[in-house]
Amino acid sequence: MSGPDPTDPTVTTAATVDGAIRSRRTSLLVDAERPVPDELVDHLIDQATWAPNHKRTWPWRFTVLTGDARSRLGDAVAEAAMALGLDDAKVAKLRGKYRRSAVVVLVWVAVDADPVRAREDRDATAAGVQNLLISATANGLGSYWATLSDTLVDAARAVAGVDGGHDLVALVYLGWPTGSVVAPPRPEPQVTRLH
């Protein structure tokens, strides 16, 4: 972990937030079966909704998959991949992949007819996803932001009961960590200062 431990109650608020931002890692080194309490998942989703949102459209929607629902998502995505002609190995991988964490959260955005609003709503929803990930880290959970290819999203929509007016912004894996991954170093940001 780089930076202060966000789960250490003695660190200051700024250090806690900075520590959670720095120590969040994309990781699937998680216990796929150890349950994550519903209340904790609800809390993370509530944190997502505190993202900034122009026009207060509250465009996000969440689907939480645990237990066999993860397999139903895998089966639906695998069937769609098979229909598209993907090879057997890829289909088998898709079928099993959502069982790699105890919880999978699908984060959707309602797509507005106005392209500017649609872009801003997606930006807001992505900010909400980051809130969710940071809060997951602060609460000791491992997390991983993934997506689905456009050709497979309809399968996820069908499982989630979400209509075509919604786009998938993130498929978030959540679980209790079983290991840690090395942080990919960041290049120096390109910053221009104007005075």
Ligand X SMILES: Cc1cc2nc3c(=O)[nH]c(=O)nc-3n(C[C@H](O)[C@H](O)[C@H](O)COP(=O)(O)O)c2cc1C
The residues binding ligand X (CB under 6 A) are 25-26, 145-147, 184
CB-nearer residue toward ligand X: 18 or 35: 18
| Residue 156: partners with Cβ closer than 8 Å, 6 or more residues away | 73, 76, 77, 106, 148, 162, 168, 171
What kind and span of H or E run contains 45? helix 38-48
Tokens coding 15: 């250090």
- DSSP SS3 for 47: helix
Residue 10 beta carbon to ligand X: minimum distance, rounded to whole angstroms:
26
Tokens coding 27: 């990781």
CB-nearer residue toward ligand X: 62 or 68: 62
Phi and psi at 35, nearest 5°, equal: -65, 145
CB-nearer residue toward ligand X: 49 or 130: 130
Walk across the sheet containing 103-110 and list its strands: 60-65, 103-110, 166-175, 142-146
Residue 170 beta carbon to ligand X: minimum distance, rounded to whole angstroms:
6
Tokens coding 46: 């509530």
CB-nearer residue toward ligand X: 145 or 176: 145
Residue 66 beta carbon to ligand X: minimum distance, rounded to whole angstroms:
21
User: What's the DSSP call for residue 144?
Assistant: E
CB-nearer residue toward ligand X: 148 or 159: 148
Residue 126 beta carbon to ligand X: minimum distance, rounded to whole angstroms:
8
Residue nearest to ligand X (CB): 26
Residue 31 beta carbon to ligand X: minimum distance, rounded to whole angstroms:
19
